[in-house]
Amino acid sequence: MVREAYHKDLHKLKEEILNMGSRVGMMIGEAVLSLKNRDVELAQKVIDMDNEIDALDHSIEENCMRLLALQQPMARDLRLIISVLKMSIDLERMGDLALEVAVITKMTANVPPIKPLIDLPRMAEICQQMLANTMSAFENKDVELARAVAKRDDEIDMLFDQVRRELISYMIEDPKKITGAQHLTFVARYLERIGDHITNLCESVVFMVTGERVELN
């Protein structure tokens, strides 16, 4: 009976982290969409969702600590719990970064955009794809998928460099665009950081499955 409850707790832990990953992916997409469409209501929705992410993070942390203290798990179960705990930290930070994008939407909604947003939505799309595939790798214990996802961080970095160079040129050519360009540079940086956190998630998946501590990408 005790072991049955223990395995139910482990299953609940997996479901919580998968739910958290899904919600963070939604936040990323909707935050950048709100910026593209200058949609203040959608931006507020993203900001409100951060409370749900924080609540999930706290729940996961408490459940992990309880399992570690009461069950003293070994081998695979221990790696699972440690990995979920680390993943929740990265996901919570990703949620915070999506929130920051939504805050910029609210700050700039009444200001004409300095340029059409093409690369930033593309960065967000890649981040969402990477995150969804990472959570699939976690669920299916797929190390090769996790490694493949981490390699896509190079795409995010290349787009970030491209966006940054373009925005610098805007600032040099027209000082009136400096503030707007700075805001978009912040957004690009937040998305680049999200890509780094997803790489961390992939490393946690590899550790969970193999016990190997790796640095991907």
> Any idea which architecture 2-210 has in CATH?
Up-down Bundle (1.20)
Q: Residue 115's pLDDT is what? A: 83
pTM summary value:
0.94
Give whole-number Cα distances, 17 to 98, 110, 139, in Å.
Answer: 18, 37, 10
Percentages of the chain per state (helix, strand, coil), in multiples of 5:
90, 0, 10
Q: Residue 52's pLDDT is what? A: 95
Chain segment 137-189, per-residue pLDDT in tens: 999 999 999 999 999 999 999 999 999 999 999 899 888 888 999 999 999 99
Q: Residue 2's pLDDT is what? A: 56
Give whole-number Cα distances, 217 to 26, 134, 145, 173, in Å.
Answer: 25, 14, 14, 35
Sign of CA pseudo-dihedral 2, 58, 49, 135: negative
Q: Residue 210's pLDDT is what? A: 95
Tell me the domain boundaries of the chain: 2-210
pLDDT averaged per 10 residues in sequence order, the chain, 217 residues:
75 95 98 96 97 96 89 84 96 98 95 88 97 98 97 96 93 88 96 98 97 87
Q: Are 147 and 59 spatial neighbours (Cβ–Cβ below 8 Å)?
A: no
